[in-house]
């Protein structure tokens, strides 16, 4: 039994009260949820982007409506969507009219490439109709495919747009065709890679189209500036999908790897496999043997002047399947992650082999379950050990979710460690009829050997109002100095943290002298941190008096940040610069500018200047991106320098990063990343040739030189390897 103290229980009761009070408040009735029934595929469909098969003519049709910038207004970008289902596939036929097809934007053909500035369509499937978790399938006008997961985590900055994790990969195919009147797309989604309720014949569903040169979004459900296609509170309903099958429910993905390393002067080879069995459409079991992560992308170098550790996104496939199930609470961002999968398999920058791993992922009757157990091999930095993480959550209704998360194990294998955590999140999109509101609370406790002295408890709550005209958020968190999740991430244990954020986001009228501006963003932010002794450690403010996006996509921002920071110990930010321990007042300024991102050639630059602890600094980081018409070749070059001047010495950090990509087809792509900095005095390269033979059959050729495992240039030394060549083949069968 977890012994939660009185403040923790109080916060849980507060969260339940707030949710109940908000729910009982006089909320206007929401707009009627749109419903579409999928038609039955009665004939063959050739996936070529041309909707000329007779079966498409009898398919149910929906029309998309302008959602942004003028909800409900007519637009020449007419978009029709047809939906069919087979025995184990969903089919979408989409016709996108464009009055000037020559201006259609495509910047990438790479799988899971950044399509945020491309003409694209996005399909969102909430297969359990719970308004909490969903699959995303996105295709741009060049045929590039991107897929991911939506989880009830934090929203994307000061906006009403939940973040999509594009690391997950499903089984699906898409084909597009350019026409004289725009472009068309055919999409086939294999339900083999989905989990769904086979007894409840209703899925949450939405679909959008984005036209970047107009910053125009069309959607099916949620015709409101406060809505977004990824906010599941605004989804519609898809019916007619009863009887969908997952086939035999078995997926077997063996792989073979050959690796050459010039540092070891040796060639090694090994095999392994991933096995997935859908026990039912709602419950899946996964097993991995000799897990290999050689196809994971290299970590891009980062620059963060904070002395506190930063998180790194997960890129390893085994941990990505069902990753949204393990998402905890709301708006904790990177301050506290109870289960941080990057803590498994990497210790002090050194890779630790994962011998076996088991996962159980399930959804049923409002419950969501995720269990992960891994057996790690012993190395020079760790003992062989078993690591476990479990997450269960329950949807009391479509708005209120409660859950628990437990982790057990120490990645080094030299002690015991257990974390138990609880969370509650309530979300609505009908406050006042059409406004979003999110309320959440959490509590956690550590136990085990070798815990620091002090309280092992943590708790917090958050209230967020993420809407178009106003964004507001208030957040409080308490992290005990013995809250020590060995399989998690906590940035500043032993602190109390309070933050408040408010942004006014007006849109000038069409008859205004400022009608050339799409939207302004006036922001104020406060971040306050004390120790458990109530002594101030951080008291930081941020004001943005100037930020706007023009109607054509130009962006300008100026931000000023007065800060009070206490360094408890000396901070060596560069080899030649160390800030002494002490208390400091300083102010920094930030300027950013960017040309329209929908253009083939995009230039942006950012610069900072002002104080930093007992010194001052300035930096400039220009970036140039270019994509050929059609998106076959894309490139990005960024270079910059930070100059530091302090009473104890001066220093400069120089860095450069270049990424190049060439897609022969959307299924065959070569991508490269080259990085340099004057701290490691090395150039690192990473190149990946990826051939998607079929959705479950992939060939990789990977070359790495001087690979950087610790991406933050201002935090510790860089871990560098020599030349490594890896050949990997995954040959799935199902």
Question: Where does residue 470 rank: exposed (0-12), middle (13-18), buried (19+ CB within 10 A)?
Answer: middle
DSSP symbol at 462: E
DSSP symbol at 694: E
Whole-structure pTM value = 0.86
Low-confidence ranges of the chain (pLDDT < 50): 1-30, 154-158
pLDDT of residue 548: 97
Q: Which residues pair with 79 in a beta bridge?
A: 96
Least Cα distance to 59 among 18, 101, 93, 25 occurs for 93
Which residue has 């269990």 as its token pair?
A: 371
Alpha-carbon distances, residue 500 vs 48, 210, 379, 385, 616 (angstroms): 50, 32, 44, 41, 27
Transcribe 363-421 into DSSP letters: EETTEEEEEEEEEEPPBTTB--EEEEEEEEEEESSSSEEEEEEEEE--TTSSS-EEEEE
* Cα–Cα dist 463/471, whole Å: 11
Boundaries of every domain in the chain: 31-239
DSSP symbol at 313: -
Taking residue 733's Cβ as centre, other Cβ atoms within 10 Å add up to 10
Q: Which residues contact 233 (CB under 8 A, 6 or more apart)?
A: 131, 398, 399, 427, 428, 429, 430, 436
Identify whether the C-beta of residue 389 lies closer than 8 Å to the C-beta of residue 419: no
* Cα–Cα dist 163/153, whole Å: 8
Least Cα distance to 495 among 465, 535, 462 occurs for 535
Q: Are strands 577-579 and 582-594 parallel, antiparallel or unpaired?
A: unpaired
Least Cα distance to 466 among 212, 225, 280 occurs for 225
pLDDT of residue 27: 42
Identify whether the C-beta of residue 150 lies closer than 8 Å to the C-beta of residue 125: no
Task: Enter the tokens of residue 304.
Answer: 């963060």
DSSP symbol at 327: -
Least Cα distance to 464 among 479, 476, 450, 446 occurs for 476
pLDDT of residue 210: 97
pLDDT of residue 314: 78
Please state whether the peptide bond connecting residue 342 to the residue before it is cis, i.e. omega within 30 degrees of 0: no
Identify whether the C-beta of residue 219 lies closer than 8 Å to the C-beta of residue 206: yes
Alpha-carbon distances, residue 263 vs 142, 267, 679, 700 (angstroms): 41, 11, 21, 22
pLDDT of residue 459: 96
Least Cα distance to 655 among 593, 574, 576 occurs for 574
pLDDT of residue 606: 95
Helix (H/G/I), strand (E/B), else coil: 3: coil
What is the chain's Cα-based Rg? 26
Task: Enter the tokens of residue 269.
Answer: 């080879």
Alpha-carbon distances, residue 65 vs 409, 448, 520, 685 (angstroms): 51, 55, 24, 45
If residue 611 lies in a helix (H) or strand (E), which one and from where to where?
A: strand 601-612
* Cα–Cα dist 558/548, whole Å: 10
* Cα–Cα dist 588/577, whole Å: 18
pLDDT of residue 309: 78
Taking residue 468's Cβ as centre, other Cβ atoms within 10 Å add up to 22
On whether the 31-239 domain is CATH 3.10.150.10, my answer is: no
């Amino acid at each position: 039994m977890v012994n939660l103290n009185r403040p923790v229980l109080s916060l849980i009761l507060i969260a339940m009260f707030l949710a109940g009070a908000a729910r009982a408040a006089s909320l206007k009735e929401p707009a009627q949820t749109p419903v579409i029934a999928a038609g039955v595929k009665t004939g063959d469909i050739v996936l070529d982007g041309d909707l000329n098969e007779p079966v498409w003519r009898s398919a149910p049709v929906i029309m998309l409506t302008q959602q942004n910038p003028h909800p409900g207004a007519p637009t020449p970008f007419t978009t029709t969507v047809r939906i069919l289902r087979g025995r184990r596939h969903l089919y979408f036929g989409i016709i996108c009219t464009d009055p000037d097809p020559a201006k259609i934007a495509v910047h990438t053909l790479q799988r899971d490439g950044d399509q945020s500035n491309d003409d694209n369509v996005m399909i969102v499937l909430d297969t359990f109709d719970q308004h909490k978790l969903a699959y995303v399938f996105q295709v741009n006008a060049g045929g590039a495919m991107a897929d991911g997961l939506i989880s009830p985590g934090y929203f994307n900055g000061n906006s009403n747009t939940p973040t999509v994790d594009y690391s997950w990969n499903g089984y699906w195919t898409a084909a597009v065709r350019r026409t004289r009147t725009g472009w068309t797309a055919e999409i086939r989604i294999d339900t083999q890679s989905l989990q769904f309720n086979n007894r409840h014949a209703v899925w949450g569903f939405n679909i959008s189209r984005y036209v970047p040169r107009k910053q125009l979004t069309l959607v099916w459900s949620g015709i409101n500036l406060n809505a977004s296609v990824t906010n599941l509170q605004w989804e519609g309903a898809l019916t007619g999908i009863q009887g969908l099958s997952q086939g035999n429910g078995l997926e077997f993905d063996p792989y073979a790897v050959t690796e050459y390393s010039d540092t070891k002067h040796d060639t090694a080879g090994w095999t392994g496999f991933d096995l997935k069995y859908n026990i039912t459409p709602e419950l899946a079991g996964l097993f991995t043997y000799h897990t290999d992560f050689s196809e994971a992308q290299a970590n891009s170098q980062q620059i963060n002047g904070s002395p506190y550790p930063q998180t790194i996104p997960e890129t390893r496939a085994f941990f990505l399947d069902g990753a949204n199930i393990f998402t905890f609470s709301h708006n904790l961002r990177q301050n506290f992650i109870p289960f941080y999968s990057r803590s498994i398999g990497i210790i002090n920058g050194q890779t630790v082999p994962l011998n076996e791993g088991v996962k159980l992922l399930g959804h049923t009757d409002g419950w969501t379950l995720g269990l992960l157990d891994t057996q790690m091999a012993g190395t020079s930095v760790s003992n062989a050990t078993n690591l476990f993480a479990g997450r269960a959550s329950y949807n009391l209704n479509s708005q209120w979710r409660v859950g628990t998360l437990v982790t057990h194990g120490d990645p080094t294998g030299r002690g015991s460690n257990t974390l138990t955590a609880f969370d509650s999140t309530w979300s609505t999109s009908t406050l006042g009829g059409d406004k979003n509101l999110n309320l959440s609370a959490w509590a956690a406790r550590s136990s085990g050997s070798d815990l620091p002295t002090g309280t092992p408890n943590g708790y917090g709550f958050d209230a967020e109002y993420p809407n178009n005209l106003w964004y507001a958020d208030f957040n409080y968190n308490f992290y005990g100095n013995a809250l020590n999740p060995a399989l998690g991430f906590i940035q500043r244990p032993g602190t109390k943290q309070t933050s408040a954020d408010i942004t006014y986001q007006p849109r000038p009228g069409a008859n205004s002298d400022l009608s050339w501006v799409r939207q302004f963003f006036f922001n104020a932010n406060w971040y306050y941190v004390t120790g458990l002794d109530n002594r101030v450690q951080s008291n930081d403010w941020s004001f943005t008096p100037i930020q706007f996006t023009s109607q054509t996509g130009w962006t300008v921002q100026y931000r000023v940040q007065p800060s009070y920071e206490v360094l408890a110990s000396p901070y060596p930010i560069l080899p030649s610069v160390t800030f002494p321990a002490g208390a400091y007042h300083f102010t920094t300024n930030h300027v950013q500018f960017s040309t329209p991102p929908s253009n083939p050639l995009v230039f942006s630059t950012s610069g900072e200047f002002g104080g930093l602890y007992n010194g001052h600094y300035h930096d400039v980081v220009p970036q140039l991106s270019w994509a050929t018409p059609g998106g076959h070749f894309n490139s990005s070059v960024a270079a910059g320098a930070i100059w530091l001047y302090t009473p104890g010495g001066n220093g400069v950090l120089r860095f450069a990063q270049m990424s190049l990509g060439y897609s022969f087809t959307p299924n065959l792509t070569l991508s490269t990343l080259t990085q340099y900095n004057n701290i490691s005095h090395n150039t690192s390269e990473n190149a990946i040739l990826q051939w998607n033979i079929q959705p479950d059959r992939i060939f990789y050729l990977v070359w790495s030189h001087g690979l950087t495992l610790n991406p933050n240039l201002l935090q510790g030394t860089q871990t560098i390897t020599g030349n490594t060549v890896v050949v990997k083949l995954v040959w799935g069968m199902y």
